[in-house]
Amino acid sequence: MTGPTVSRSTEPEPAAGWAPTPALGRAVLLAGLLLVAGVLLGRVDLIVLAAPFALGTAYALRRRPTALPQVWISQGDDGPLVEGGDVTAAVSVGNPDTVDYDLVVLRTRVSPWLRIFRAGFARDGVAADVPPAATTPTGSQGPASGASRSAADRPFVTSVPTGSAVDLELVGRALRWGRHPVGPAGARVATAGGLLVSRAVIIEPVRVRVYPRTEPFEAVEAMPRAAGLVGAHHSRRPGEGGELAGVRIFGPGDRLRRIDWRVSLRSRQLHVAATLSDRDAEVVVLLDVLAEAGRSGGVDGAASVLDTTVRATAAIAEHYLHRGDRVSLLEYGPSARRLRPAAGRRQYLTVLEWLLDVRVTSSSHEPYDQVFGPQLLSSDALVVVLTPLLDERSAQMLARLTRAGRFVVAVDTLPTDLSSPKDRGWAEVAYRLWRLDREIMIGQLREHGVPVVRWAGAGSLDQVLRDVARLATAPRVGGR
């Protein structure tokens, strides 16, 4: 009669992904050679010498790992992250096995736009500081030269007891807006006294959202035409508001509190103070993404065309949304992305998310019909076009919008410190000719009624909005 059998599923089996190390091969080979030599030569001392190697190897392999390590990346919960703010993240290694991990080698990649200046494992709440090296990473996608190397750009070594996890804490500073990856991260584990090693466990990167820093912007001038129901802008239509439009004779439906008693007593007939209604307006911010110029140096360095465009868009949207206006965004490029007009704080958060995906995309096709074909701009909307005016199609787009009767303001986003090429030959002459041709194009746009102003933060659009509001009172010619 046989006894009870034990199911094989309950016995621990080595998991796939574990391999012997060269140390295990050397220990087995040395113990085997000593035992064979001792038996053949009849020498007990060789057998005694082989015993520690054989017993040590057997003792180390008495409990073999059955699971691979777990690796995950977590982002610090410090609220929305803005350019120049502190970024925190953690790369964790967990041990789900029943044996301790004697050695864990962990390495992760971090975007060069996230400058990590402190990295280390948290031990009892204390993280070890790692001084950054003096080298500089190169590449077109990284910050400009002169930035120090990330403190996370090296392998980290630790040990993980069974049933626990160890966090590699990363503390740094966000240098530029965008979605920046932390990762991929990988870990390899050695156990059983260094006799077994796992395969590399690699985890996909986590994208850290860094919102653009809004530059100071304040426009005190009225909108060219307010066409909503309620808002903060003075319209030209009579209604309830705070802007005095004149004094007229009292009529049916007028409120008693509007009676102007001084005029009424002098004329011996009731008169009321007429006011202009306060309404909201629609602002369309058009981003020209056909060309890029300049090299981004991050929040503390030089700004490229795309940097200026994104930060100016965030500032303009924040200003007008704070005043209760409706703001929509458009991309002038092959993708022709569009954000519908809306108002409120929720729209502002949506604008920031939308700006994180702005990319420069060159195309040989004319994107005008693709951008403005299916979606017609409101005839009363203020169109703020952020463009470097590096492409003739951008100038043609501005002219077509003006001919269509839109209120257009062009904001020049080309960096003022754009240096000329240093190559020999005709490069300097070509650069000067290009500058001259661009100035002529800007002059032609102004002659056609397109105001062009350089972005300079607070008050950049005041004079232009004053002129556009004055033109809005004139008869409009053109299709809508």
Per-residue pLDDT in tens (0 to 9) along the chain, 480 residues: 334 433 333 334 445 778 888 887 787 787 788 888 888 888 888 788 878 777 777 777 777 888 889 999 998 877 788 988 899 999 999 999 888 888 999 999 999 999 998 888 875 444 545 444 433 343 445 665 444 567 788 899 999 999 899 999 999 999 999 999 998 999 999 988 888 888 999 999 999 999 998 876 665 555 555 454 444 444 445 555 555 657 778 778 777 777 788 888 888 888 888 765 554 578 889 999 988 888 888 888 888 899 989 998 998 888 888 888 889 999 988 888 889 888 888 999 999 999 999 998 877 777 777 677 656 677 778 888 999 988 888 888 888 888 887 888 888 888 887 776 666 667 778 778 888 888 888 888 888 888 888 887 666 666 666 666 555 555 555 444
**CA distance linking residue 143 with residue 155, whole number of Å:** 23
- Residue 189, Cβ neighbours under 10 Å: how many? 26
Rg of the chain over Cα atoms, rounded to whole angstroms, equals: 35
Reported pTM:
0.74
Q: How far apart are CA 276 and CA 75, in angstroms?
A: 51
- Is residue 417 helix, strand or coil? coil
Per-residue pLDDT at 124: 43
Burial of 416 (0-12, 13-18, 19+ CB in 10 A): exposed
- Rounded (10°) angle between helices 22-41 and 44-60: 150
